[in-house]
Amino acid sequence: MFNDDLTEYSEKSENLKKKVRKLAKLIKNSKHCVIHTGAGISTSAGIPDFRGPNGVWTCRDQGRKRPRRTCRKSKPTYAHMSISKLIEKGYVKYLVSQNCDGLHVKSGVPLDKISELHGNTNKESCKDCKKDYWRPYRCRNSKKCHDHRTGRLCDECGGELHDTIINYNENLNETQLNRAYQNSEKSDLSIVCGTSLKVTPSSSLPVITVKNETGKLVICNLQKTPKDKYASLRIFSKTDLIFELLMKELDLTPDEYVDPLENENENENKNKNKKNNKKEKEKEKEKSSQTKNKKKTNNKEKTKTKTKTKKKSKTNTKIKK
């Protein structure tokens, strides 16, 4: 049923507001809230999902051209920035994500508050000394599925660097997975955002909350999921819209995303402009000094010619006498 049903549903405006008010109360009363995110949270950033009507796997299965997945120029969405603010304010204790687009980390979520189960496109690691490198670009270079070498070397030990992306039939990072399990077991509220909950083991994590006597599960997704029967609150809506209403209910405002690369570029441009201005000023000084020197030399030459003409006139007068 769930493999074939691609229908996306949308709550009516008033109904959506009521459900978000309930969600806000659940968050306020929660002691250990965990959010679980999937590809649906990044679609408004220009990154296609996998199982939506125009998702990557949907298009593949239907013989259509698959949309390109690029995270290079993508920026965190309103939902990403809202989750970062909720973690900052202590409303959310932990974040578990299936996404490898790096947008949660870019939004400011601390690394000890997130499990990126399928890796991060901006992170590469040394297999020998375990040092991590965070890049402003996509680390993966290999065209072979299970070859994770990036072609770069560790500056500590000289070992080969590998991307951190987890492909099908590959084991998840144990540290990331264990932290996800630990926080899911602690949680009294799990909020699912933008995932169809079909990929294991991530799909089983939010349901752990329900096993706790007072645990609540909230699922926010446009499509139905196999775990809907466990949810005490089910919201059909786009994640950005849900978080816009939620942040108003909690009287919070997410920070605006500032791209550090843009700042670097701006600073570089400013420094270039400063250097250019200095060079121009120096050139102007050189020109002015050159013109001054020319004037001085011209004046000296004039005075010399004057003295010469005077001397000549004197000698001429003497000869006449």
Q: Indicate the Cα dihedral angle 134, 138, 144, 145, nearest 10°.
A: 70
Q: Of these residues, 36, 118, 148, 162, which one is catalytic?
A: 118
pLDDT recorded at residue 204: 95
pLDDT recorded at residue 207: 96
pLDDT recorded at residue 1: 42
End-to-end CA distance of the chain: 132
Q: Which residues define the annotated binding site for Zn(2+)?
A: 126, 129, 154, 157
Question: What are the tens digits of pLDDT across the range 295-315?
Answer: 666 666 666 555 555 555 544
Higher-pLDDT residue of 124 and 321 is: 124
Q: Coil, helix or strand for 185?
A: helix
Query: 286: Cβ–Cβ under 8 A, 6 or more apart, which residues?
Result: none
Unique residue bearing structure tokens 């020109």: 287
**Residue 320 binned pLDDT confidence (cut-offs 50, 70, 90):** very low
pLDDT recorded at residue 151: 92
For the ranges 12-26, 67-81, 97-111, 272-286, the lowest mean pLDDT is seen at 272-286
Q: Which residues define the annotated binding site?
A: 126, 129, 154, 157
Query: What is the arrangement of strands in the sheet containing 114-116, beginning at the earlier edge strand?
Result: 114-116, 94-97, 33-37, 189-193, 216-220, 233-235
Residue pair 223/7 in contact (Cβ under 8 Å)? The answer is yes
User: Which of 44-48, 60-64, 97-101, 275-279 reaches the highest mean pLDDT?
Assistant: 97-101
Q: From residue 102, how far is each of 4, 77, 107, 214 by CA, in Å?
A: 30, 12, 9, 33
pLDDT recorded at residue 179: 98
pTM: 0.77
Quote the percentage of the chain above a pLDDT of 70. 74
118 given a catalytic annotation: yes
Question: What are the tens digits of pLDDT across the range 252-267?
Answer: 999 999 887 555 444 4
The mean pLDDT value for 72-79 works out to 86
**Residue 214 binned pLDDT confidence (cut-offs 50, 70, 90):** confident
Q: Please check the confidence at residue 72 and state whether its pLDDT lies above 90.
A: no
Rounded CA-CA distance 7/90 in Å is: 35
Report H helices in 126-211: 174-186, 205-211
Rounded CA-CA distance 112/179 in Å is: 9
Q: Indicate the Cα dihedral angle 125, 39, 238, 255, nearest 10°.
A: 10
User: Which of 65-69, 80-84, 310-314 reaches the highest mean pLDDT?
Assistant: 80-84
